[in-house]
Amino acid sequence: MGHRIALPEPTRNYDQDAEWFVIETTNGWREIKFHDYAAIFEIPGLYEQLFYDTLCCDSPRFMCEFLAERLLEAGENPGRLRVLDLGAGNGIMGEELAKLGVDLAVAADILPEAAEAAKRDRPEVYRDYHVLDLTALTAEQRGSLREYRFNALTCIAAVGFGDIPPECYRAAYNLVEDGGWIVLNIKKDFLTDEDPSGFAALLRDAVHHNALEVAGSRVYQHRLATNREPLHYTGFIGRKRADL
């Protein structure tokens, strides 16, 4: 049985990083912002019920199928991927990677609540789960991550709103071996010249300086907003050619 939750009236429009919902608790109704992931992850099943059952999020499945197509075209076996899943949350992307046939996926997230939720909800999908700040790695942490010799990086529904800033993504990208696969999705707004997040410039420079070879991009419906309108993201599959 799911939680009792409610969204704002569909006539109300909110920026994506200001969306909220309420959930019934033993102490009454509680309001939680969508980007308060720590609070959401602490309640078993809430993340899936809110984003997947109610708002029809489809990004992990869509991006894994997109990756599978490109791997098939390149004649590469998904079982040989060594994936760093950045902003892994409670492991939904890790679960999709396992379905694809990926045997080694390692999670990274800055929230201890995310790691606890993944261990609770999907304990088998990651070889390891690292709670850390990639912009401030210790020598020990950096060495530990490099031992995996990552040849793929996934980052799904996690960039553009400040949760994962460009410098964090850059650090993760540079942990991947040259020739590795890059799997990223991002809201279309963050690819314009007016983008305040820094990701439009990061991706533009990566392509311009031949650090990233884009193997394909697609615009698709990521999920519904609280006003029930579709939110469109752009998904990228690429190959790393050099560090950022």
pLDDT tens-digit profile of 15-57?
998 999 999 999 999 999 999 999 999 999 999 999 999 999 9
State the DSSP code for 12.
Answer: -
| Confidence (pLDDT) at 1 | 65
Judge whether 105 and 78 are in contact, CB under 8 Å: no
| Confidence (pLDDT) at 162 | 77
| Arithmetic mean of pLDDT, 169-173 | 97
In the chain, where are the structural domains located?
A: 5-54, 59-240
Q: Does domain 59-240 have CATH number 3.40.50.150?
A: yes
User: Is residue 163 scored above 90 in pLDDT?
Assistant: no
For the whole prediction, is pTM greater than 0.85?
A: yes
- If you search the block for the tokens 């997947």, which residue do you land on? 52
Query: C-alpha 241: how far from its chain's center?
Result: 22
| Confidence (pLDDT) at 160 | 83
User: Which of 197, 130, 207, 213 lies closest to 159 in space, CA to CA?
Assistant: 197
Q: What is the mean pLDDT of the chain?
A: 96
| Arithmetic mean of pLDDT, 145-151 | 97
CA gap 165, 173 in Å, rounded: 13
| Arithmetic mean of pLDDT, 178-191 | 95
Handedness of CA 58, 64, 67, 68 (dihedral sign): negative
- If you search the block for the tokens 């608790």, which residue do you land on? 25
| Confidence (pLDDT) at 197 | 87
Burial class (CB in 10 A: 0-12, 13-18, 19+), 127: middle
pLDDT tens-digit profile of 194-243?
888 899 999 999 999 999 999 999 999 999 999 999 999 999 999 999 99
pLDDT tens-digit profile of 53-75?
999 999 999 999 999 999 999 99
| Arithmetic mean of pLDDT, 122-131 | 97
For every residue of 47-82, DSSP letters joined together read HIIIIIIIT---HHHHHHHHHHHHHHHHT--GGG-E
Compare 110 and 192 and report the one with higher pLDDT.
110
Q: Tell me the pLDDT band of 13, cut-offs 50, 70 and 90.
A: very high
Task: Assign 168 to helix, strand or coil.
Answer: helix
